[in-house]
Structure 1
Amino acid sequence: MPLFLYSYAGDYVEVLDTTLRDGSQGASVSFTLQDKIRVALKLDELGVDYIEGGWPYSNPKDYDFFKAMREYSLTRAKLAAFGSTRRKNVRPKDDESLNSIVKADVPVAVIFGKSWTLHVEKVLETTWEENLSMIAESVEYLREHGMEVVYDAEHFYQGYQEDPEAALASIEAAWRAGARVVVLADTNGGTPPHEVYRITAEVRRRFPAMALGAHMHNDIGCAVANTLMAVAAGARHVQGTVNGVGERTGNADLTAVLPTLELKMGFRVLRDEPPPVKYSRLREVSRLVYEALGAQPNPYQPYIGEFAFAHKGGVHADAVMKVPRAYEHIDPALVGNRRVFVVSEVAGGASVVVKAAEELGIPLDKRHDAVRKALEEIKRLEREGYSFDLAPASALLILMRHLGLYRERFRVVEWRVVTGPGEAAYAIVKVWVDGEERLEAGEGVGPVHAIDVALRRALTVSFPELRPVALRDYRVVLPSSVKSTESIVRVTVEFGNGDRIWRTVGVSSNIVMASIKALVDGYDFALQTKELKTRAVENTWRRP
């Protein structure tokens, strides 16, 4: 049997996003009501077919969400409420869970039922016949209330492996009762991809007219792969979450599933618009979910992560400059991302040259003597604990010095910080600016904030162009690779001015000193790059 027997290029695969329901069941995941509304509206902009907004019977927040969403008009997606089949020995009209779905007043119901005899006998403690009645009667009851029903066959793959006929009978009961889609769920997340493909293909052959879906968990790290295998075997409905959040190790990450289906396997997802438009929105919704959770975006996330198209090794960077597809599986622009060249201890001259052209507008040859000397200094500093991967602006300042393009604009001569029993801190800095010393004080929440306030006051008098510059992010790490009895900290600071973003780094045994180094580099980079724009670039810079 050919591997992709049921893969038809051009087929449409519909998408149900369950970030707001299954995603919210992940540890340390909690959405406020306003978060849920913002994410739902962004998912609608993205173009998913269904937004599973929550389980109204399980908590009042989800019920309030469905009530609040009546004030908004979704243009692309259908809103869905989640719940379980009726309880054993209870009529559907008397079941509170089913009625909470009806009261949610949405067009779609997603209900789950049991496919595994283990759960029926040991968890529900009922008969298999009663389980089939629970499934069929629940679907029929929701259909009678005018709702489209998506049936999630919980633990289907585990159930099929133990008793195929029983598992098949469970989904047939839902289908014949009127479920529009029957979703095969790997609820334990432990089924390997080849088994997902085999079982899904067997279900497809048994029920060729049944609309099949896939809901995968990531317990063995295969949720994305399993979703793709299910589609390859005949499923045309996928469920997952943004960034893969969810129970235990999470769900299938839609930010990887969707572009792979379209760009790699030839299916169509997210109606109406071409990849560069739709997948730039995928990046936006990913950042929104991270923001709602108070988490930093994963820079290594496939397709949309900051490092998804980052090239650090000199050989890689040199090859990509000549032929991008030598080390890039797609054009980054297709998913709203960009190519990044990282300057580091393992980078070659090609990486430095690209960064100089991108960030400074300076055309250089990778054999330029200044490039070689800058790389030598960068490698020496990284041995001391610096890391320029996330702080290329500090590396570019080094390059500018070796090119003779750097002009010292200011220097921190002295500083003092006083902290008290509360959160407030007070700082004094003495700064040399254009031949004279200036003393300024600042108050802030913590010593670094106080230093930044004082430093900005000292600089903006002479450099008003720094007023729009804002500190956007601040991180402290302990470089584990530094072999020293002295404790070393590394501080990375992110700046922005409305037009661009840049990052700098500082290292010291003193956290405040490391922070000052990063802050000074950040403001210095803004001044140096502004001055570069006013200078003519000499042709001699191109010669080695």
Structure 2
Amino acid sequence: MSTDSRHIQLMDTTLRDGEQTQGVSFTPVEKVSIAKALLQSLRVDRIEVASARVSQGEKEAVTSINEWAKQEGFAGRVEVLGFVDHTRSVDWILETGGEVINLLIKGSEKHCRVQLGKTLAQHTEDVLQTVSYALEKGLKVNVYLEDWSNGYHDDPDYVYGLMDNLQNAGISHFMLPDTLGVLSPDEVFSSFSDMCKRYPKLQFDFHPHNDYGLATANVMAAVRAGVNAIHCTINCLGERAGNASMAEVAVVLRDKMNMQLSIDESHIVRISAMVENFSGKRIAANAPIVGADVFTQTAGIHADGDQKGGLYKTKLGPERFSRTRSYALGKMSGKASLKKNLEMLELDLSEENQKKVLARIVSLGDSKQTITTDDLPFIIADVLESKSYQHIKLLNCSITSGLDLESTASLRIKVMGTTHVASGSGNGGFDAFVDAINKVMTQHNYTLPALADFEVRIPKGGHTSALTECVITWNCDGELRKTRAVHSNQVFAAVLAALKIINIQLHELGLSQV
């Protein structure tokens, strides 16, 4: 870890560069909401919110952001990308109440010559004309050296010449982008070290892209070389493979480089979710810091280590980000995983009952079902109420339903050692199953009792993938009896509950088991 602790500015460009993600276009209201969250809650140092002259809707959004920023004391921290067009970009920004222009200039000789058809001297003259006008109008001016990474590699003398021409022009930040994400950490360190030594009085920003998956590593290299400002986006939004992740950069700079930051990382996950919803771009469940699964231990041995001494916990704890650690339940679960979840629910089970519940969890996990802590009470209730009666055993069952079509059920079942095949139909899948099972059970002088009540539940706050609990109340010759069962499919939860009442009643009749 570095001991050279200093403050690093984080500039968020989700609303400008992040909006260049394929398929992403924030509405004005969404832009304002994200801007407020970034400055007021996450407390980033600066935000870049738009490109000048894009649209009327963009202009309205930037105006609203600037008005709010001035009222809340964030004036001067809202930036807009502008172009070398003398007055047009500057005037557009002024009309929105903006105070900062990030001027896009050509950072490579090839871009200057091929795209503009101009020499370095001609481009410099145009840049200085726009810079002069912006300063005259009271704007703060930063400049992006577009394609700087390739420009520095292909023709460093062009880059030096451009910097020499602009270094005394009143520019606040020289922002050096790896526009196409081509640099490695070694290349970043070498090039930025050179730039910082050649121009020690200038303020450099690094604007990385993630095409090689090296954005965060490249940020570390740039900071080691002396850079004091880094550009990021929420959820890595950006063109192609995206920009550097704000969440990753923040924790790496703090934990691995001992740098000081302004941001309040407890809001990172909430703002990540906001951007995810507004952008429509879903983040991976294993995305560092913000992913749904990154603070979940799956292996039982990890839960055991945490239970005995926090052996699998690190400085990167969920509490920093207003999250909690969880222990997954499934086929890899062990006793410690179950105990951790029972502690969270404040439940206490005997060792014998824990074994039964764990066996059921592993069985459900083998069928690839996702099991959450919210599912656990359903599983416990189901297991503790279950008897080991095996008078009837379902071997196979297929149930089909369709809109405005009668449902059908086909089943293969073993009753007291005899295998039966039957089919049934009805008004819904469970009704079709009851029709089929009664055709079998009448051969054994048994009919399912009538339903007195039927209840299907999922855990509070559960997802569509949650386990389903079905509780059926049966009218058994005037006596009300309940059975319950748990399954990911609500129809099959009802089927299993029905099999329980059959097993119970056959047992009471003293019949032989399967």
Cα pair 2:297 2:326 within 8 Å, conserved? yes
**CA distance 1:281–1:436, shift in 2 (3 Å):** farther
Q: Which amino acid aligns with 1:267?
A: M
Aligned amino acid, residue 205 of structure 1: K
| Contact 1:374–1:402 (CA under 8 A) maintained in structure 2 | yes
Structure 2 residue aligned with 1:252, among 228, 244, 247?
A: 244
How far 1:370 moved relative to its partner?
3.4
Q: What is the distance in 2 between the residues matched to 1:146 and 1:108?
A: 9
Matching residue within 379, 394, 415 for 2:362? 379
Instruction: Give, in angstroms, the shift of residue 149 of structure 1.
Output: 1.6
Task: Classify the secondary structure of the residue corresponding to 1:238.
Answer: strand
The answer on whether the counterparts of 1:493 and 1:505 sit within 8 Å (CA) in structure 2 is yes
What is the RMSD of the two structures over their aligned residues, measured on CA atoms? Answer: 3.5
- Partners of 1:163 and 1:292 lie apart in 2 by 41
Mean CA deviation greater in 391-400 or 331-340: 391-400
Identical aligned residues as a percent: 24
Distance 2:493 2:111 in 1: 57
1:263-412 maps to which residues of 2 (within 5 A)?
A: 263-270=255-262, 278-324=264-310, 326-359=312-345, 361-363=346-348, 368-388=351-371, 391-402=372-383
Deviation at 1:173, TM superposition (A): 3.5
Q: What does residue range 446-525 of structure 1 map to in structure 2 within 5 Å?
A: 459=455, 473-474=463-464, 491-492=465-466, 507=488, 514=489, 516=491
The 1:473/1:317 distance shift into structure 2, 3 A limit, reads closer
Alignment match, 2:52: 56
What is the Cα deviation at residue 159 of structure 1?
0.9
Quick check: 1:303–1:337 contact (8 Å CA) kept in 2? no
TM-score (norm 2): 0.75
Aligned position for 1:44: 39
Report the alpha carbon displacement of residue 214 of structure 1 after superposing the two structures with TM.
0.8
Q: For 1:519 and 1:53, how far apart are their aligned partners in 2?
A: 53
**What is the alpha-carbon distance in structure 1 between the residues aligned to residue 404 and residue 141 of structure 2?**
61
Cα distance in structure 1, aligned partners of 2:247 and 2:121? 40
The answer as to 2:429 corresponding to 1:437 is no
Matched, 1:178 2:209: no
Cα distance per residue 1:227-264 (max 9 Å; x no partner): 22212211111111111111111111111111222233
Measured in 2, the distance between the counterparts of 1:344 and 1:384 equals 9
Q: Does 2:233 correspond to 1:216?
A: no
Residues 109-149 of structure 1 deviation map (CA, whole Å, 9 limit, x = unaligned): 11221111111112222112112223333222212211112
Asked if the contact 2:66/2:78 (under 8 Å) is kept, the reply is no
Alpha-carbon distance in 2 for matches of 1:342, 1:296:
22
User: Corresponding residue for 2:391?
Assistant: none
- Return the letter of the residue paired with 1:106: G
Partners of 2:24 and 2:298 lie apart in 1 by 33
Cα distance in 2 for partners of 1:324, 1:296 equals 32
1 CA distance for matches of 2:266 and 2:166? 37
The one-character-per-residue Cα deviations of 1:46-83 (angstroms, maximum 9, x if unpaired) are 21122211113123321121223354234446211112
Paired AA for residue 354 in structure 2: V
Counterpart residue identity of residue 130, structure 1: Q
In structure 1, what residue type is equivalent to 2:49?
G
Q: Which residue of 2 aligns with 1:274?
A: none
Give the CA deviation at 1:341: 0.9
Which consecutive residues of structure 1, in runs of 5 or more, have no partner in the other structure? 87-91, 272-277, 407-414, 440-457, 461-465, 475-490, 496-503, 508-513, 522-544
1:27 aligns with 2:13: no
Q: Which amino acid aligns with 2:332?
A: V
Distance in 2 separating the partners of 1:517 and 1:110 = 60
> Displacement of 1:416 after TM fit?
9.4
Aligned length: 431
| Distance in 1 between residues matched to 2:361 and 2:309, nearest whole Å | 27
Distance 1:250 1:519 in 2: 47
Tell me which residue corresponds to 1:229.
221
- One-letter code aligned to 2:84: T
Note the residue ranges of structure 2 that are not aligned, 5 or more in a row. Answer: 388-398, 406-426, 435-448, 470-484, 497-514
Task: Note if contact 1:55-1:63 (Cα within 8 Å) is conserved in structure 2.
Answer: no
Instruction: For residue 99 of structure 1, report the CA deviation from its aligned partner.
Output: 3.0
Please report how far the alpha carbon of residue 304 of structure 1 lies from its aligned counterpart in structure 2 after TM superposition.
2.9
Of 50, 66, 72, the match for 2:62: 66
Deviations 1:239-296, CA, capped at 9 Å, x for gaps: 111111111111111111112222332212126xxxxxx1121221111101112344
Structure 1 residues 185 and 8: alpha-carbon distance in aligned structure 2, compared to 1, 3 A threshold: same
Q: Match for 1:114 among 92, 106, 112?
A: 106
Aligned to 2:167, the other structure's residue is in SS state helix
Partner Cα separation in structure 1 for residue 349 and residue 159 of structure 2: 65
Partner of 2:477: none
Determine the structure 1 residue equivalent to 2:79: 80
